[in-house]
Structure 1
Amino acid sequence: MGREFLDIFEEWAESYDDTVTGQDEQYKAVFQGYEEILAKVADASEGHVLEFGCGTGNLTKKLLDRGLTVTAVEPSPEMREVGKKKLGDLVEIIDGDFLDFSIDFIPSTIVSTYAFHHLTDKEKHEAFHHYGKLLQKGGKIVFADTSYESEESYNEAIEDALQKGFVDLAKDLKREYYTTLPVLEEGLLNAGFRVEFLRCNDFVWLMVATKE
């Protein structure tokens, strides 16, 4: 359920905000247009928002700036600490993950950025099924994450990273559970959603799924 990567989250906690602003050459293309990507997710959100993998709170802040109510879920103690320092008492950040969480409300929108790839394809489909039962008709899932149009394009991304000498990026792409748009679409359709995808940069796609 993504918690096998908690050691990575601990490493990223202090450097994540520097990385997303382009200060690490290896990940510059991954986070190209980062602020605009977050804005697109926030703009597509409404009502009481459930955010998974809030990390250091960058998307959370944009959601709050739009006047939305946010309940944030984050499995990493280190990330939660950074997020709480940034956001103060403006939002509740609870321990949990995409599949293991406890809330006492029905969200209008479920959001996440740069985190859903920590689940296997099977777990992604389980999550969609769960959200399909949780959301009411018209409720939305709005995720922005590294995804690929095909297995071939995924393998090409790894090879390109290696050719550029981006060893850490290639290692991440191999280690975590990056998937394809057809796999995401299949899981969403089976869970009762219609979905649209929008390419944000060479790595990231915005996924907007609406409960039918």
Structure 2
Amino acid sequence: MGREFVEIFDEWAHTYDESVGGQDPQYADVFAHYEAILEAVAARAVSPVVEFGTGTGNLLEKLQERELEAVGVEPNGAMKKAASEKYPEATIIDGDFIEYQLDTKPNTFVSSYAFHHLTDGEKAQAIKRYASELPAGGKVVFADTVFESEEAKQERIRYEESRGFKDLVEDLNREYYTTLPVMQDIFESVGFAVEFTQLNDYVWLMDATKK
């Protein structure tokens, strides 16, 4: 359920904001238009909102700026501490995409740069749970790295290898980056209508509405 990557984020908690700000050239393409990507997710959310993988709190900030009622869900202690220090008024609970306990019934689930920590089977399990908890018209709005096909993914890995971006290549091979057809099948199989919008060379916005 993505928890095998939790320890990695002990280090990322101290460097994540620098990376998303474009200071790490290996990840510049991954985080291109970062602020606009977060805005795109927040603009489609309807209160109450649950954010998975709160990290250092950047998307949570966008939700709060829109005066949306939002709860963050974060499994990594260092990340949760960083977000809480930046936004002490925010509610951030321990949990992950599948295992979480909420006090209120959400209208929207959101996330950015985190869903790839789940296998395709776990992604399906998570989306099935959201379908059971959302009302008709409820939304799942995720921004994450997704590829148009497995061939496109392998082509991108070869490209990054040619650039000498060893850390990025390691990430692409280690984590569970999936494809658009797989995500479409997952959403539609449990009653969502989903639209995909490409936001940079890596990231797609997945905007799903429960029928």
TM-score in terms of structure 1 length: 0.99
Cα distance per residue 1:166-185 (max 9 Å; x no partner): 00000000000000011001
Superposed CA RMSD in Å reads 0.5
**Aligned residue pairs, count:** 211
How far apart are the structure 2 equivalents of 1:35 and 1:110? 19
Q: Write out aligned runs for 1:68-87 (5 A).
A: 68-87=68-87
Alpha-carbon distance between aligned partners in 1 of 2:124 and 2:21, rounded to the nearest angstrom: 31
Task: Note the C-alpha offset of 1:47.
Answer: 1.2
CA distance in structure 1 between the aligned counterparts of 2:208 and 2:140, rounded to whole angstroms: 5
Alpha-carbon deviations, 1:45-90, whole Å to 9, x = none? 111100000100000000000000101000000000000011112x
1:195 aligns with 2:176: no
In 1, the alpha carbon distance for the partners of 2:100 and 2:88 equals 22
* C-alpha distance in 2 between matches for 1:108 and 1:43: 14
Aligned ranges 1:25-174 → 2 under 5 Å: 25-89=25-89, 91-174=90-173
Q: What's the offset of the Cα at 1:104?
A: 1.9
1:110 shift after superposition: 0.3
Residue identity opposite 1:88 in structure 2: P
Q: Distance in 1 between matches of 2:7 and 2:102?
A: 26
**Unaligned runs of at least 5 residues, structure 2:** none
User: How far apart in 1 are the matches of 2:109 and 2:95?
Assistant: 14
Structure 1 moving runs of 4+ over 3 Å? none
Amino acid at match of 2:46: E
Q: Which amino acid aligns with 1:125?
A: A
Percent sequence identity is 53
2:16 corresponds to 1:16: yes
